[in-house]
Amino acid sequence: MPQSMQPGDAKAAEIKAVSIGKTFGAFHALKNLSLDIGRGEFLTLLGPSGSGKTTFLMILAGFTAPTTGRLMMDGRDITDVPAEDRSYGMVFQGYALFPHLTVEQNIAFPLKVRGRSSADIKRKVGDMITRVGLGGHEKKLPAKLSGGQQQRVALARALVFEPSVLLLDEPFSALDKNLREMMQQEVKRLHEETGTTFVFVTHDQSEALALSSRVAIFNQGELLQVGKPQDVYERPTNRFVAEFLGEINLLPLEKVEVNGERAAGKFEDRTIIVNQSIALAGKTAVAAVRPEHMFISAAPQASDCNAITCRVEGATYFGASTKYHLRTRSGMSLAVSMPTALASPIAHQSDVWVSWPVHQGFLLPDAG
Ligand code: ATP
C-alpha cells in the first residue's frame, strides 16, 4: 500500500442530521429527516427517482440550505458553513473532469488550490494514480480515456486531499454492467483503505446492498428505514422497503395471534408461523417471504418450516437461478426462485408444496 494514506489515517467525520426539511415553493422535498452517519461508515442513500436523495446529499455538501433543521459534524453545527469550507470530496454522475488538464493535472488540482508543496503534490498524485490503477495514463487528456478510466480520475481527484467525507451521487450510472461492478469493488476497496466516511446515492438496490455498511431508504422525501444491508433486506419494517429491495411474496394472514417472539395466522387452510412480532391494530397482517427463501418439494418439509400447496404455472430460466411461477389454492400468484443447479425438473400444472423456514418470513402490517 502506498505510504501516504494508511487505513484509519483520514480524519473521517461523524455527521448528524437533525429534523432536516427542504421545501421548493409548496413542495416538500424532504420531510423532517433525522439521520446519524457514523465515522468511517459507508452509508448509501437509496430510493426511487424524486425521493429526495440528491437534495439530502446537496444539503450535506453545503450546496443547498435546508429549510428547517440542523446539520452537525463532529459535534459542531455546520448548517451555515459554505460548501468550500466543508471541504468534502465529491464524485458525481458526469465525470466533471477538466478537459484541458491531463490525468495527473486533474488529480493534482485540489492539492494545488490548497497550496500544497510540489513535492507533496507529486507524491500524493503518484499514490492516487497507483491506487486507482491509472499508471501509464498520467499524461492523457480525459477525452482519450474510457468512461471507467474517467470515473477513476474523478475518484482519485476527490480522495487525493484526504477529505473527511466523500459524497458520491450515482457515480456509475453511465457505465455498462461489468465496468460498473468493477468500479463498485474499487470504491469498496478505496473506502476500506482510506477509512473516510462515504455517503453514496443510488437508486440501484443491489448496488446499495453490495457496497454499504448501512443503507438509508428514502421515499417521497421521507426516510423510511436505516440499517445494515442484511437487516433492511431480511427485516424491512414496511411494505415499501420490502418491495423496493427485491421481489417479495406477500401472504395475507387472518386470525393473527402474537405469542412472545412468534406470530401465527391463517393463510388459506394453513397456519403460517412467523418468527417475529410487530404491533398490530387488529387480527390481520401480511407474512412476507423472499422468493429465494422458498423451495418446492413433493411433500411439506417438517422441521420449523411453513408449507402451502400451489400449482406450477411456469418457469423462467435466469442462468444461475430459475424462477417458478405458482398459484396458491385461492388464486394468488407466488414466485419461488431456486439455484438452477439444485432445481429438478418440475412439470407445469403439477401440484407441489412450497415451503420456507419459519425464520425466513417476516410480518408486515396490513396497510403500508
Ligand atoms: P433522482 O434519483 O431522480 O436523482 P432523487 O431521489 O435524488 O431523484 P431529488 O433530486 O432530491 O430526488 O429531488 C426530490 C424532489 O425535489 C423531486 O421531486 C424534484 O423535482 C424536487 N426538486 C429538487 N430540486 C429542486 C429545485 N431546485 N426546485 C424545485 N424542485 C426541486
359, 363, 131, 158: which is closest to 253 by C-alpha?
A: 363
Q: Note whether 132 and 38 are same-domain residues.
A: yes
Residue 20 has pLDDT above 90, yes or no: yes
Q: Is residue 9 part of a domain?
A: no
pTM, two decimal places:
0.88
Per-residue confidence (pLDDT) for residue 42, from 0 to 100:
97
The Cα 347–Cα 241 span in angstroms is: 34
The Cα 234–Cα 251 span in angstroms is: 16
Per-residue confidence (pLDDT) for residue 10, from 0 to 100:
46
Average pLDDT, the chain: 90
Domain with residue 185: its CATH number is 3.40.50.300
Q: Note whether 255 and 225 are same-domain residues.
A: no
Q: Note whether 353 and 280 are same-domain residues.
A: yes
CB of 55 closer than 6 angstroms to any ligand 1 atom: yes
Q: Note whether 118 and 222 are same-domain residues.
A: yes
Number of compact structural domains in the chain = 2
Question: Each residue of 148-205: pLDDT tens digit?
Answer: 889 899 999 999 999 999 999 998 887 788 888 888 998 999 899 889 999 999 999 9
Confidence of residue 279 (pLDDT cuts 50, 70, 90): confident
Per-residue confidence (pLDDT) for residue 2, from 0 to 100:
39
Per-residue confidence (pLDDT) for residue 303, from 0 to 100:
81
Going from the Cα of 55 to the center of ligand 1, the distance in angstroms, rounded, reads: 6
Dmax (CA) for the chain in angstroms is: 76
Q: Note whether 198 and 123 are same-domain residues.
A: yes
Helix (H) or strand (E) holding 252: strand 249-259
Question: Each residue of 283-322: pLDDT tens digit?
Answer: 899 999 999 999 998 887 778 899 999 999 999 999 999 9
Task: Look up the domain containing 286 and give its range.
Answer: 248-365
Residue finishing a domain among 179, 205, 239: 239
Q: Note whether 218 and 270 are same-domain residues.
A: no
CB of 328 closer than 6 angstroms to any ligand 1 atom: no
Q: Is residue 6 part of a domain?
A: no
Quote the cell numbers at residue 365.
Answer: 402490517
Q: Note whether 337 and 219 are same-domain residues.
A: no
Going from the Cα of 215 to the center of ligand 1, the distance in angstroms, rounded, reads: 20
Q: Note whether 87 and 220 are same-domain residues.
A: yes
Q: Is residue 8 part of a domain?
A: no
Residue 6 has pLDDT above 60, yes or no: no
CB of 344 closer than 6 angstroms to any ligand 1 atom: no
Identify which of 54-68, 287-301, 341-355 has the greatest average pLDDT: 54-68
Sheet holding 214-219, edge to edge: 89-91, 165-169, 197-202, 42-46, 214-219, 222-227
Count CB neighbours of 220 within 10 A.
15
